C-alpha cells in the first residue's frame, strides 16, 4: 500500500501474524502503544490465544485462524508484522510484499543471507518497507554504550565482550530447540542474532569469524552454548557468548579501550516489564534501570558509575510509522539483516569445521571462504 500518501490523521492498520512470545509480549503491546499505528488483526490458529488477544487489545480487534484470511484483506491494511516461527518468515514476508504490503519481520529475517538478500530485493523492486525487529538496539545498556563511544570516553576500542547468558539446564521443548535446519533454531540464531547485530552496528563489517558451538543439555538437538570471536575490518575484536547453561552469569558487557573500560552487569528491564504486563505510556518514563544496575566506567582503581539511558523499545515502531509516512528508510533494514546472517552462517561453518572463516569484502562474493 502507498502509506506515504495516507492522511496523517488516519492510523496505519497493522496485521500481526503470530501470538506466541514474540507476538503477544513484544509486537502487539508496542504496536498498540505507537501513535499512528492501530493493531487491526491478529492471526493465530489457537482459540485461546485469539481470546487472549481480544482481552488484551479490545473486542474490536479482528482475529483470524490462517494468514490467508489476512492477505484476502490486504487492501484494508498498511503493514504486516511476521512474528511466527522462524521457518515461516521468508514465505510470509514474500506473500505480504507480493500483496503490496509493508512488512516487519521478527529476527532472524531468514535462515540464510541469500534468502534475506532476495527479500530485500523484492521489497526494493516493489518500493515497499521491509524491516527486521532488532529491539536490542534500544536496550538501556546498548544505548548507553553508544553514547560513551560517541563521546570518546573509552578512547580507541580494542575489544567488545557481550553476553546473553541464562541458566536453563532443562529443555523446554518446541521449535526453538529443534535440530531441523529449516527451523533456524538454537541460540546462535536466537540470541546470536541480537549479539551480532549489536556488534555490527557498533564496529562495522566483519572480516573473520571463529566459533565454538555445543549442545550440552541431555537430549538437546541444537546449540545451547556458543561463543563467537569476530574481527572487524576496523580492527576491533568482538567476543560474543550466548548460553542456556551458564550456572553463573558473566557481565552483560565489558568493553576495553585505550583510555578506559565500560563494564555492565544485568539485563535491560524492558522484556521483564512487558512479560509482567507493564505497557509503555506516552509521557511516562519507560525502560528505566535502577542505580544499582548502572555500568561502571574507568581504568585501574579509578572508576565511576555511568547512569544508564532509558531503554526505548517503543522507538522501533515509532520509527517504522515515520518511515511509512515519509517514505524514508526503516530503523533496521533487510540488507543489515543479511549482513548479520552472513556472520551467523560463517559461525556455523567455523564451529563445524574447527577453523576461522574469512568473509569476503561487501562488494565481492559474500560466501564464506577458507582462512
What pLDDT is recorded for position 7?
A: 59
CATH number of the domain encompassing residue 59? 3.40.50.720
CATH code for the domain in which residue 225 is found: 3.30.360.10
Residue 300's domain comprises 139-312+344-358
In this structure, the answer to whether residues 189 and 244 fall within a common structural domain is yes
Domain count, the chain: 2
Please say whether the beta carbons of 245 and 224 come within 8 A: yes
Q: What local confidence, expressed as pLDDT, does residue 182 receive?
A: 65
**pLDDT in the model for residue 371:** 38
- Determine, yes or no, domain membership for 208: yes
Q: Do 173 and 289 belong to one domain?
A: yes
Residue 31 shares a structural domain with residue 146: no
Write out residues in the chain with pLDDT < 70, as ranges: 1-9, 175, 177, 179-180, 182-183, 362-371
Burial class (CB in 10 A: 0-12, 13-18, 19+), 218: exposed
- What residues have CB less than 8 Å from 338, skipping those under 6 apart? 109, 113, 116, 117, 120
What is the rounded CA–CA span in Å between residue 143 and residue 153?
A: 14
Identify the burial level of 301 via C-beta atoms within 10 angstroms of its C-beta, where 0-12 means exposed, 13-18 middle and 19 or more buried: exposed
- Say if residue 95 is in the same domain as residue 189: no
Q: Which residue bears the cell 580507541?
A: 156
pLDDT in tens, 283-336: 899 999 999 999 999 999 999 999 999 999 999 999 999 999 999 999 999 999
R_g of the chain, CA atoms, integer Å: 20
SS3 at position 210: strand
| This prediction's pTM | 0.92
Q: What is the pLDDT of residue 77?
A: 98
Both 228 and 321 in one domain: the answer is: no
Question: pLDDT value at position 368?
Answer: 44
Contacts 24+ apart (CB under 8 A), 143-146: 143/308, 143/309, 143/310, 143/311, 143/312, 144/264, 144/295, 144/306, 144/307, 144/308, 144/309, 145/202, 145/253, 145/255, 145/262, 145/264, 145/295, 146/202
Amino acid at each position: 500500500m502507498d502509506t506515504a500518501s495516507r492522511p496523517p490523521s488516519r492510523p496505519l492498520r497493522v496485521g500481526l501474524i503470530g501470538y506466541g512470545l514474540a507476538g503477544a509480549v513484544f509486537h502487539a503491546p508496542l504496536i498498540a502503544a505507537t501513535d499512528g499505528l492501530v493493531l487491526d488483526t491478529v492471526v493465530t490458529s489457537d482459540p485461546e490465544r485469539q481470546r487472549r488477544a481480544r482481552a488484551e487489545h479490545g473486542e474490536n480487534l479482528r482475529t483470524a485462524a490462517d494468514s490467508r484470511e489476512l492477505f484476502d484483506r490486504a487492501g484494508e491494511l498498511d503493514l504486516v508484522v511476521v512474528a511466527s516461527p522462524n521457518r515461516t518468515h521468508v514465505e510470509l514476508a514474500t506473500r505480504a510484499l507480493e500483496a503490496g504490503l509493508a512488512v516487519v519481520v521478527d529476527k532472524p529475517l531468514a535462515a540464510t543471507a541469500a534468502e534475506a538478500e532476495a527479500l530485500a530485493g523484492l521489497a526494493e523492486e516493489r518500493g515497499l518497507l521491509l524491516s527486521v525487529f532488532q529491539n536490542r538496539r534500544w536496550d538501556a545498556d546498548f544505548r548507553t554504550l553508544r553514547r560513551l563511544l560517541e563521546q570518546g570516553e573509552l578512547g580507541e576500542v580494542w575489544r567488545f565482550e557481550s553476553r546473553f547468558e541464562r541458566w536453563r539446564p532443562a529443555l523446554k521443548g518446541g521449535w526453538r530447540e529443534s535440530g531441523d535446519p529449516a527451523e533456524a533454531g538454537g541460540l546462535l540464531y536466537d540470541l546470536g542474532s541480537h549479539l551480532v547485530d549489536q556488534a555490527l552496528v557498533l564496529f562495522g563489517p566483519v572480516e573473520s569469524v571463529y566459533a565454538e558451538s555445543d549442545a550440552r543439555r541431555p537430549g538437546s538437538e541444537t546449540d545451547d552454548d556458543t561463543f563467537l570471536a569476530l574481527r572487524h575490518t576496523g580492527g576491533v575484536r568482538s567476543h560474543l557468548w550466548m548460553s542456556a547453561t551458564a550456572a553463573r552469569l558473566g557481565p552483560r558487557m565489558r568493553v576495553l579501550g585505550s583510555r578506559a573500560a565500560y563494564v555492565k552487569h544485568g539485563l535491560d528491564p524492558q522484556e521483564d516489564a512487558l512479560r509482567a504486563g507493564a505497557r509503555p505510556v506516552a509521557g511516562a518514563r519507560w525502560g528505566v534501570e535502577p542505580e544499582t544496575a548502572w555500568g561502571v566506567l574507568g581504568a585501574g582503581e579509578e572508576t565511576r558509575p555511568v547512569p544508564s539511558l532509558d531503554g526505548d523499545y517503543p522507538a522501533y515502531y515509532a520509527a517504522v510509522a515515520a518511515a511509512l509516512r515519509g517514505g524514508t528508510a526503516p530503523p533496521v533494514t533487510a540488507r543489515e539483516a543479511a549482513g548479520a546472517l552472513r556472520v551467523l552462517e560463517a559461525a556455523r561453518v567455523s564451529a563445524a569445521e574447527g577453523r576461522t572463516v574469512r568473509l569476503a569484502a561487501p562488494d565481492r562474493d559474500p560466501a564464506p571462504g577458507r582462512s
